[in-house]
Amino acid sequence: MTTTPIFYTISADFVPYAAVALQSLVTFARPGDHYQVIFLHEDLTSVDQAALGDLATSQVAVAFYQLDPTVLAGIANRPENFLRADFYTPAIFYRLFIADLFPQYDRALYVDADSVWAADPAPLVNHPLNGQLIAAAPDLSVAHVEPMQEYIRGAIGVPGGDYINSGVLVLNLKCLRDEGFSQHFLKLAQSYHFDCIAPDQDYLNAICHGQIEYLKEEFNAMPKDPAYASEAVAHPTLIHYNLFYKPWHFGTVMYGEQFWQIASETPFASQLRAELTGYGKEDQEGDRAKLDRLMAKAGQLATATPSFASVEAASGEVRL
């Protein structure tokens, strides 16, 4: 029997959303397929772990791996490491160390916990890597955002259509270990302190470009602005509620129905509904303002130095 490892990284405040992600995997796992879910964390209590562990089945096992803070030694609480240029959370970097932390695996899937499966996971988890370091989908959630496109081209140094979202990754763990990926990442981060919009994601794009197998949008379908409702994926396999478009904060979000269908099957259904009800207009406007500030920063960083693009052009030190 083959068991596929699927990694999620969470903090204690993310347990209700992680429960929805886990329940969706249980719901759509094909009979006969087996998955080992591993939650990477720093601060889950025994109560948190029990709440998630209770959702396990004979097909979907659940385990917890408490990270040693020294794993991220050298990745400091500095503005360039802030998620969405807003706050510091070390959890975003954990995915970059899976290859080293789990040498028993040569391949794995990483998924952000703000996601739900909407179809059989097998086509994604078994997607061919063709010798590449990772497989990931282009980040189409920013395809229409010109400041981000300028940032991707100018600061990251890759074409806009090649810029991947790090919320769903098929990881070639053996190749990542053989190439010394995590050590390369740490050296760059500590040497240059690149100012970033999405720190883990931007490093992955800059380091791995040219060694990425590109996935279809159905494997990482992300909500877009309502103006682009016609671009919704008809039959997504995995939905990822990226950036600020969270169905537990906004009543009308692309793919929101799929989230609530699964949420209703979890012990957190009432809590999540209450969160949506309590998230008022002022909160929503605050999220929109954060997004505006993020895009403004992207435009400023497009020509700033040092950048991934400028260092790569000058010395070739960035790409593996």
Q: Taking residues 127-149, what's their average pLDDT?
A: 93
Is the bond preceding residue 306 a cis peptide, omega within 30 degrees? yes
* pTM of this prediction exceeds 0.85: yes
Q: Taking residues 127-153, what's their average pLDDT?
A: 94
Q: What is the CATH number of domain 3-315?
A: 3.90.550.10
Which residues does residue 63 pair with via DSSP β-bridges, in sequence order? 38
Q: How many CB atoms lie within 10 A of CB 99?
A: 24
The confidence band for 143, taking pLDDT boundaries of 50, 70 and 90, is: confident
Q: Taking residues 97-117, what's their average pLDDT?
A: 97
pLDDT tens by residue, 286-320 = 888 888 888 888 999 999 999 999 999 999 999 99
The confidence band for 107, taking pLDDT boundaries of 50, 70 and 90, is: very high
**CA-based nearest residue to 302, from 197, 192, 164, 188:** 197
Rounded to an integer, what distance in angstroms lies between the CA atom of residue 268 and that of residue 205?
A: 35
pLDDT tens by residue, 15-43 = 999 999 999 999 999 999 999 999 999 88
pLDDT tens by residue, 49-102 = 999 999 999 999 999 999 877 766 666 555 444 444 444 467 778 899 999 999
What residues does each domain of the chain span?
Answer: 3-315
- Tokens 């769903």, residue? 168
Instruction: Evaluate if residue 12 carries a pLDDT over 70.
Output: yes
